[in-house]
Each structure stands twice: as structure tokens, then as C-alpha cells.
Amino acid sequence: MSTQRALARRAAAELVGTAALVAVIVGSGIQASALSPDIGVRLLANSLASAIGLGLLIALFGPVSGAHLNPVVTLSEWWSNRRTTRPREAALYVAAQLAGAVTGALLAEAMFGRPPGAWSTQIRSAHHLLLGEIVATAGLVLLIRGLQRIDRAALIPVAVASYIAAAIWFTSSGSFANPAATVGRSLSDSFTGIAPGSLPGFIGAQLVGALLGIALAALLYGPNHPVPPVNREAPISV
Amino acid sequence: MSTQRALARRAAAELVGTAALVAVIVGSGIQASALSPDIGVRLLANSLASAIGLGLLIALFGPVSGAHLNPVVTLSEWWSNRRTTRPREAALYVAAQLAGAVTGALLAEAMFGRPPGAWSTQIRSAHHLLLGEIVATAGLVLLIRGLQRIDRAALIPVAVASYIAAAIWFTSSGSFANPAATVGRSLSDSFTGIAPGSLPGFIGAQLVGALLGIALAALLYGPNHPVPPVNREAPISV
Amino acid sequence: MSTQRALARRAAAELVGTAALVAVIVGSGIQASALSPDIGVRLLANSLASAIGLGLLIALFGPVSGAHLNPVVTLSEWWSNRRTTRPREAALYVAAQLAGAVTGALLAEAMFGRPPGAWSTQIRSAHHLLLGEIVATAGLVLLIRGLQRIDRAALIPVAVASYIAAAIWFTSSGSFANPAATVGRSLSDSFTGIAPGSLPGFIGAQLVGALLGIALAALLYGPNHPVPPVNREAPISV
Amino acid sequence: MSTQRALARRAAAELVGTAALVAVIVGSGIQASALSPDIGVRLLANSLASAIGLGLLIALFGPVSGAHLNPVVTLSEWWSNRRTTRPREAALYVAAQLAGAVTGALLAEAMFGRPPGAWSTQIRSAHHLLLGEIVATAGLVLLIRGLQRIDRAALIPVAVASYIAAAIWFTSSGSFANPAATVGRSLSDSFTGIAPGSLPGFIGAQLVGALLGIALAALLYGPNHPVPPVNREAPISV
């Protein structure tokens, strides 16, 4: 398979994977809100479904594209491998993730018989929420880099899934920790939505959190040096 | 053991396994509805119990029959191996699954002291529910085929169980994703039931979803070629 | 270490393990009932805590005593190995399990500041509950024997824990599936208790279920022959 | 890297890890209390998030510092290796854990927009709570030592996480089982807090429980002898 076609397939995996991820997050939020009056029960169901979905997608698409499904992960990986990876690849990944996130939100809306295309009205702009989002993203990046540094990258699917299940609860922001999913979630006026006006703050906090996570990993595991890509265990032969 | 007797044992595993699966789904639904007024809590319990039951059955019966427990899986496997597997085997599997599903529904009703044999009155026919069922089944088939293609078939029991736990929440249809279990569930007028009149739509959507899942797997993992049967890791010596 | 001392240590592990198991079941039931008015939420917490406790105890004490913690498992193991195991050993195990179960119930009562020694008043005698208990125990025995037959005994701690979490929900009886724990639970007048008058029916149903599980395993995995003890993976050197 | 710098890095891991642990416990408790009126639902969310957080931290920091994150674990490890480990190292670990626990509580308060620095007002001093805390800590120590003795130290992250999830439910005290986290939790007047006046009783009970756990491990696994440190699987090369 030509490099060109291989890159197209990797971008397709990022697009389909991010679409599925956002459909799981938004869809389970809509379902849970329809079924339970208790917001705690809603978040239990939503956090468990989202975590499982993320873990399965990383396991399934990891060998195809690395299963970043998140611009913060792509940028952090690109930074670690910046001598060997072209920025064009990272840009393609981010574009595929954004397109996937929008697709996933619209699919979730359609599955639940709601007219797609409404913006979320849920404002999330308080300062302490931004602190929560910084903590959530820093933890995610530290977890991925740490597992790579201790040669436990095979644990990443389960570990990242578990992390998200917990972070949704222990951070004040709901632990979006993913700029593409954040954009997608602005397109559903439901439990997991975020108003478009709150996007810049959240995405900014996620980028700050990513830097903090990289710094913490360097502090705890020693100076940074190139690491192999996330979970891209085995190439697909075709 | 003769091939004939081996096939009989495999069919018995499909029958017992599908009976157990439907008994778990229907029984936990009845129990949860009796205990909690909160429909979200009911679905949490029902989805966790159903997912665990499915995962254990795949692990336990995989080495005997492949533990399809689902006509969509049997047909998809047969299609992949159509040059070496006779259609008669697939037909026997589907018949055993249907007989098991009916048995399991009646067993669940009896365990809870309810007169067996009542049809479900729960109509599930809205168009967006059918879209949900297409998505649910496509995801299931993509997951199984994807794990086979990346040589991670050993993860199938845990991955399929986790998938169902999430899909029950993120799809609008409750993620039946199994024509045999759908038929069985029409025989219980309870939380997890489906009115007989809704069967054709659901089963049709499941078949469409299976085709979509096969297509997505081909797109992301390359052109289709014969794969080993699901999870039939080791033959049972007798 | 002499055989005599080794046997004493194995009995101690069965006693401590069964005490811990019953303390987890009864204690989490008392806690859950005090915290939630929703019986579904209570059973979610109680089933998850009980399942985790059982799984950890099997993992921890398996290499010491086989971690039966259940007379039905001991009798089924003894039957499989009756040519090499003396009945006296099985009797000692059952006695240790019963003593442990009573100790565990009293410990749970004491931990929650309740006067120990009250009998449960919860009558569980309806016929369909006994059917539920037969199904619960048959499934447990089939699971253990099946995993042994397919050389997956290492999965027993996780599989049995998961099974119990699901069986508490899908059977009508609450899936006691353990005569010793059933006796222990008669000594706590709380969420997980059982009135002494209901003991004979439940224990009888458990024994019938065990036979059914053995028969199902023979049907699906072939005629019975001696199997290695449950999960006694590695001897402890002392 | 010099021994001095290595020790500093290990202390940093204990500090960051304990801070993260307490932030997860306290933060998820605040979140759950804000979302659900049902205390059972609150504790379900809080126990699951806390357990996951602990398991991930042990997996991530185990190869750096052993990931004790708990003075009881540090003291128990030091006791087992007292011929080769200097007490100064144990003291440094405990100091880092205490500093981390306070940091984590303040971070959780800040993430939720609460003025940091308020003492908890939740009195936990009844005798039966202290019995619960003894049982909780004894079980934790027995679990860690038992897994080391049967050469299953690789299971410690998952096993300890699962244990805490269950112990929060089956003990009456909420299973703090960690003197540093107990001190941290006195600095948040929220769901998981403990009034400063209740600290001496809880910490005393934890120390008694640790001794009981060591005694039980000796009884069940044979006389104590030096064991390798918890989960310090591989040194970090820098």
C-alpha cells in the first residue's frame, strides 16, 4: 500500500473513531437524561458509557492510526516525534478529528429523533471550571506519557478509559479534555453540551493542561526524548 | 468424536448459551423494574448484568462452538468463510439460537413467578429507533471483525461485553443487535420486551447494520479475506 | 511443613476467607440500606461490593486452599477427585466455611454497631425463588467446571466475581448459591438476610443446582474426568 | 542519576500521587453531593472514582517510587525490609504523602470554586466506626502482603483499587485506611471529610489494623521474611 493510501486510511480511522466517541458521549447523555430524574444517576451512566466507548475505540483503532481521537494527544505525540513526523500529518489528524466530532454529534441527535444542528445553550465559563479542565487534561497527558515511559503502552486503552470515568467525577468541568470532542459537543443542546461561547476558554484550558502534563511527566520520569507513537502496536498488512 | 457428534455439541452450546443470555437480559430487567422506581437505575443494573452475562458466555462457550449466540455473528462468520463452511452449519446454529432464545425468555418468566407465554406489548417502531439499531449492530460487527484483523480475538469476550454495556446507553434502541434475542424478548411483557409487531423492523435494521459493519471493517482494515472463526481458540478434546 | 500443618493452614484460609466474604455481603447490604431509599441502588452497591470481595478472596486464597469458600464448590471438587482426596478433607473445609460464615455475619453486625445474634426475619420460600436458586448454583458450577475444562482456570477469580454480580440481578432469589454463606446470612436481620425457616429450601435448591451444573458441564464439555483443584495455582513454600 | 536525585524523584512521585489521590476522593465526593439527593448514588460515584484513581496512580507511579501513597503501606514495607532500608527514607515518604494529601484537598476545593482552608465538621468517632477502620486497614495490608507472597504483585494496582471500592461499602467507617489521606480529608468540609477531632481515633485504628493485617498474612502465608518492594517493577532509566 502506498504511503499516501496508508495516510488516508489512518485519517479515516481518526474520523470514524472520533465520530463514534462523540456519538457515545452525546447519545448516552441524551438517553440518561430521558430516563432518570437524578443527575447523579445520569452522570454515572454517561461516564461509564463514555469511558467504555473510548477504551474500545483506542483498542480497535490503535493499530491503524494510533487512535489519538483527540488533538491534544496528536499535538503531544507530534511534539515528541517532531524530528521524524511532518506537521502536515498532525494537521490532517486534527482535521479528521474535528470532522468526526461534528459527524458524531449529528448522528447522536438523529438517533434520538432530535432535529440536528441546534447549538448547545449550556454555558461553562466559570474560572474554577477552567481550572478543572486544566487538571483533567494534565492528568490525561501525564497518564499517556507515563505509561509510554515505563513501557506499559499496552495498558493505554484500559487506563485512559478508566481515567476518563474517574475524571468526569473528580474535576469540576466534566473532563472534556479533548478540543475536537468539545467542538462536537457544542452541536447538541443536551446533557453533555457546551455553549459555543464557552469553547475558547475550554480549549485554551486544555492546551494549558497538556503543557502541564508534559512538564509533570518530565519531572517524574526524566527529561523528554522521542517515544514510539501511542499504541500503534502493529501495522496492518494489506 | 465423530464430526456429527461434534456438530451436535456445538449446536447444544449455542442453544444453552443463547438461553442463558436471554434469561440474563430478561431476568435482570424484571428484577430491576421491581426494585427501582428510577428507570435510569433500572437500565444501569440491566445493562451491567447483560454485559457481564454475555462476556462470560463467550469466554465459556467460545472454545466449544465459537459462542456466536447471535444470528448476525453466525451469518457474518459464514460469509467470511463461505468457501470452507457449509450453509447447513450456519442454519443449524441459527435454529439453535432461536430455540435457546425462546427457552431463555420462558425460564426468566418462570424464575420470577410470572405466567410464561405472554407477548410483549412494548412497541418499538419509530424510525430513529431503527437508526439506533443499525448503529448498534454495525458497531458490534465492526468490533468483532476489527479485533480479528488486528490479531486480538482473545479480547472479544471482554470487548463485546463492554460494547453492549455502552451501546445500551448510547443508542436510542437499547441495542438489541441480535435477531435471536430480539425474538426471545418478544415473549416477555417486561422491561426488556419488544412487541411482536416491531420484530420485522428491528431484525431488518440489524441485518442492514451488519452489512454496514462489514463495509466499515473493509474500509478501515483493508479488503476482506478469510479469517479464523470467532474465539474458537482451542478444540475440546473428548 | 508437615501435611497436618498444611491442612490446618488451608482450613484457616477457608475460615478467614468465608468470614470475609460474608462480612462483605452483609456489611455492604447494611451500609447500602442505610444510605439509599431506592432498593435498586442498594442492590447495585451490594452486588458490586460482594462480587469484588469474592473475586479478591479467590485470587488471594486460591494458592493456599483453592479458595472454595463454598460447600457446593468443595463437594463438587471432591466428587471430581474422589479417588485421590479423602472425604475428611472435604468435611474439614465445610466446617471451616460454616464457622467462617457465622463469624463474618457477627463481625458485620458489630462493625455497624448492631447487637449481634439476631436472626433474620426475611422469609424467602416461594417456589419460584427456589427455581432461581437452582439456576444460580447450576450456572456457578458450570462456569467453574467449564473454565477448568478449557484450561482457563486462571480466569476463575474474575469470572466467578462477574458471574455473581450478574446472577444477583438475573435470578429471582438473589443468587446465594453458597450453603455456608446462606447459614451466615440467617444471622443478620438486614438487607441480605434469610429467615432460618427458609434455609432448608435454599440449601436443597443449591444442591440440586450443583448437580444440574455438573450434568450441563458433562453435556457440553464431554464426560467427566479428574480435574486439577480450583485455582490452586502454586503451593506456598514455608 | 545520583542516589540523592533518585530519592528526590521518588519523594516527588509520592507527593504528586498522594495529592492526586486526595483530589480524586474529595473532588468526586463534592461533585456527587452536588448532583444527587440519594446518598447511595453519591457513594457509588465516589467509591468508583476513588478506586479507579488509586489503581491508576499505583500503576503509573509504582515503577518510580513503589506508589505507596499511604503511610501505612510505607511503614509496613519498611518493616519487611528494615535490614536494608534506612528509616530516613520511610520518613521522607511519609512527609511527602502528608504534604501531597493537604495539597490535593486544597486543589479539590479550588476546582469546585470553594474557599480552601475550611476544616471538616463531620465527626466520625463512634466505637463501631473505629472497628470498621481496623477491618478496612487490616484487609488492605493482608491483600498487599498476600499478593507479594504468592508472586502476584503485578495484580496490586487492580486488586487494591477493587478492594477500596468494596471496602468503602462493607465497612462502617468508609474505609479511609490511609493516615495521610485522612489528614487531607480533614481539610474539606464536604462529603468525604472528617473533623480534626476524629483524626487521632481513625489514625490509631489504622495502625492497629495494619498490625492485624501483618499478623494475618503471617498466619496464612507463613512466617515473615524480606519481600521485594510493592510494585517497583522496573527502575526508570534517566
- From B24-38, B111-125, C77-91, the region with the lowest mean pLDDT: C77-91
Say if the Cβ atoms of A108 and B139 lie within 8 Å: no
Q: Is D126 helix (H, G, I), strand (E, B) or coil?
A: coil
Contacts of A37 (CB under 8 A, 6+ apart): B38
How does residue C85 score in pLDDT terms, banded at 50, 70 and 90? Answer: confident
Q: Could you give the CA distance from residue A96 to residue B35 in angstroms, rounded to a whole number?
A: 45
Q: Note the pLDDT tens digit of each residue in D163-222.
A: 999 999 999 999 999 999 999 999 999 999 999 999 999 999 999 999 999 999 999 998
- Contact list in D for residue C38 (CB cut-off 8 A) is 38, 40-41
Give me the residue label for grid cell 430480539: B182
> Residue B205 in contact with residue B137, Cβ under 8 Å?
yes
How do residues B154-184 score in pLDDT, each as one tens digit? 999 999 999 999 999 999 999 999 999 999 9
The residue among D47, D169, D175 with the most chain C CBs within 10 A of its CB, best to mutate, is D169
Does the pLDDT of residue B198 top 80, yes or no? yes
* pLDDT reading at B87 higher than 80: yes
Angle of helix C199-221 relative to helix B39-65, nearest 10 degrees, comes to 40
- In chain D, pLDDT over 90 holds for what percent of residues? 86
Residues in chain C closer than 8 A to D221 (CB atoms)? 64, 236, 238
- Taking every pair of C-alpha atoms in chain D, what is the biggest distance, in angstroms? 53
Q: State the best of A133, A148, A155, A169 to mutate against chain D, taking most chain D CBs within 10 Å.
A: A169
Mean pLDDT of chain D: 93
Which amino acid does the sequence have at A51?
A
CA-to-CA distance for C157 and C138, rounded, in angstroms?
17
pLDDT value at position D224? 61
**Which pLDDT does position B122 carry in this prediction?**
95
Q: Which residue of D has its CA nearest to C9?
A: D220
pLDDT at B237: 35
**How high is the pLDDT of residue A84?**
83
**What stretch of H or E contains C147?**
helix C127-149
Taking residues D74-79, report their average pLDDT: 92
Residue with cell 459493519: B213
- Is the CB of residue B145 less than 8 Å from the CB of residue A4? no
Q: What are phi and psi of C56, to 5 degrees?
A: -65, -40
B71 pLDDT more than 80: yes
* pLDDT exceeds 60 at position C162: yes
CA distances from C55 to B70, C154, D117 (A): 29, 12, 40
Please report the ipTM that was assigned to this predicted complex. Answer: 0.92
CB contact under 8 A, C128 and B112: yes
Q: Measure the CA–CA gap between C144 and C146, rounded to whole angstroms.
A: 5
Residue contact C166–B53, C-beta within 8 A: yes
Residue B231: per-residue pLDDT: 42
Contact state of C143 with B56 under an 8 Å Cβ cutoff: yes
**Residue B37 gets which letter from DSSP?**
S
Of B227 and B77, which is predicted with more confidence? B77
Q: How far apart (Å, rounded) are the C-alpha atoms in residues A157 and B162?
A: 13
Mean pLDDT across chain A: 93
CA atoms within a 13 Å half-sphere pointing along the CA-CB vector of B237: 3
Note whether B186 and B196 are within 8 A (CB).
yes
For residue B69, give the nearest of B106, B27, B22, B134 by alpha carbon.
Answer: B22
User: Looking at this protein, which amino acid is placed at residue C61?
Assistant: F
pLDDT, mean of residues B25-31: 98
* pLDDT, tens only, D10-37: 999 999 999 999 999 999 999 999 999 9
Predicted local distance difference test score (pLDDT) of residue C1: 56
Confidence band, pLDDT 50/70/90 cuts, at residue D125? very high
Q: Does pLDDT of A131 surpass 90? A: yes
CA A184 – CA B177 distance, rounded (Å): 26
DSSP chain A: --HHHHHHHHHHHHHHHHHHHHHHHHHHHHHHHHH-S-HHHHHHHHHHHHHHHHHHHHHHHHHHH----SHHHHHHHHHHTTTTS-HHHHHHHHHHHHHHHHHHHHHHHHHTT--TTPPP------HHHHHHHHHHHHHHHHHHHHHHHTT-GGGHHHHHHHHHHHHHHHSTT-----HHHHHHHTT--STT---GGGHHHHHHHHHHHHHHHHHHHHHHH-S------TT--SPPP-
Q: What's the confidence (pLDDT) of residue B75? A: 95
User: pLDDT category, A224, cuts 50, 70, 90?
Assistant: low
> In this model, does residue D232 exceed pLDDT 70?
no
Which pLDDT band holds residue B232 (cuts at 50, 70, 90)?
A: very low
pTM exceeds 0.90 for this model: yes
Spell out the domains of chain D, with CATH numbers in brackets: 3-221 (1.20.1080.10)
Radius of gyration of chain D (CA): 17
C-alpha cell of residue D183 = 489528614
Give the cell for residue C224: 467427566
CA distance C170 to D237: 50
